[in-house]
Amino acid sequence: MQPLANITPLKPAGAIEVRNVGQIFKTTSQDVVALQDVSLDVKPGRFVVLVGPSGCGKSTLLMMMAGLRQQTSGTITISGAPILEPDPNRVGVVFQEASLFPWLTAEENVEFPLALRRVSKDERRAKAQDALKLVGLEGFGKRHPHELSGGMKQRVSIARGLVQDPPVLLMDEPFAALDEQTRMTMGDELLRIWAATGKTVVFVTHSLTEAVYLADEVIVMSPRPGRIVDHLQVSLPRPRTYEMLSGDAFGRMRDRIWQHIRKSA
Ligand SMILES: Nc1ncnc2c1ncn2[C@@H]1O[C@H](COP(=O)(O)OP(=O)(O)OP(=O)(O)O)[C@@H](O)[C@H]1O
Ligand SMILES: [Mg+2]
């Protein structure tokens, strides 16, 4: 594994520990129990995929791991310490929409979290360029988002999540808005980045094929209130290949996940 030049040397990859987490949203009409007694361990460097029916609390759980929302009960630690607020040195986040600032170039978008932390201009530029290179966008730094394809924009947003070299990367349906071909390419690209950096990844998707293709482990959640109903170890060898998609082992795992989701439909 090669550390990125000019990016802080890799820290030990982050472990995630979720213990008895519950979330109740208080609304004017009623209390919504979004998550109930969710416990989960993600070992450093693992690629874990979360699946479950719409509204089961996947994004809520990810927001909590990112320190963007506090749970009603239970605890979450990242690299051994609670996550009480966003901490881009420990956790990078990539959302479904690339959510780039249209008036900033790709490079400036990637630099943005560093600018917020008052990192010097030279250091910012160097780190942003390394991160853009890592996601295959070397030479595209001066382009604005409207000059980039959907896949390229999502690469910029991955670069932004990685720019502070956090040990953990959380991704909430990052490829959902992309066409199928771009999505497959981006999946392979993400696996390449993951293998090169040793990050812990927690990835949310509605695509069961994408889940099995990418994951070391797939965690299946029940309909609201979200609980964990299955936890699969995906034993397919790496690197993953297109041919594996039509294999028996692949089909069996996808079916097992589908049976859970189907029951909840
Ligand atoms: N701020 C909020 N106030 C009230 N209820 C909320 C709030 N945020 C989420 N919820 C509710 O909590 C539940 C879980 O929402 P969440 O967005 O985490 O689901 P999800 O699994 O990510 O769904 P999807 O697959 O559609 O993205 C849903 O029923 C949702 O309506
Ligand atoms: Mg969601």
The pLDDT score that the predictor gives to residue 9 is 41
Strands of 91-94's sheet in order across = 91-94, 168-172, 200-204, 47-51, 217-221, 228-233
Q: Whose CA is nearest to atom 2 of ligand 1?
A: 25
Ligand 1 centroid, distance to 219 Cα (angstroms): 18
* Cβ of 59 less than 6 Å from ligand 1: yes
Ligand 2 centroid, distance to 52 Cα (angstroms): 10
Can you give the pTM of this predicted structure?
A: 0.93
Residue 16 near residue 76 (C-beta atoms within 8 A) = yes
The pLDDT score that the predictor gives to residue 4 is 53
5, 7, 11, 13 alpha-carbon torsion, rounded to 10°: -90
* Cβ of 32 less than 6 Å from ligand 1: yes
* Cβ of 57 less than 6 Å from ligand 1: yes
Q: Indicate the class that CATH gives domain 45-90+168-265.
A: alpha beta
Q: Whose CA is nearest to atom 6 of ligand 1?
A: 25
* Cβ of 160 less than 6 Å from ligand 1: no
Q: What are the extents of the domains in the chain?
A: 45-90+168-265, 99-165
Q: Which atom of ligand 1 is nearest to the CA of 52?
A: 21
Half-sphere exposure of 33 (CA within 13 A, CB side): 12
Q: Which atom of ligand 1 is nearest to the CA of 27?
A: 4
The pLDDT score that the predictor gives to residue 117 is 86
Who surrounds ion ligand 2 at CB < 5 A? 59
The pLDDT score that the predictor gives to residue 11 is 38
Q: Whose CA is nearest to atom 17 of ligand 1?
A: 59
Three-class secondary structure of residue 120 per DSSP: coil
Joined tokens for residue 181: 């071909």
pLDDT digits 0-9 by tens, 55-101: 999 999 999 999 999 999 999 999 999 999 999 889 999 988 878 99
Joined tokens for residue 262: 């189907």
Residues of the chain with pLDDT under 50: 1, 7-11
Ligand 1, residues 56, 71, 72, 261: which to mutate, most atoms within 8 A of Cβ?
Answer: 56
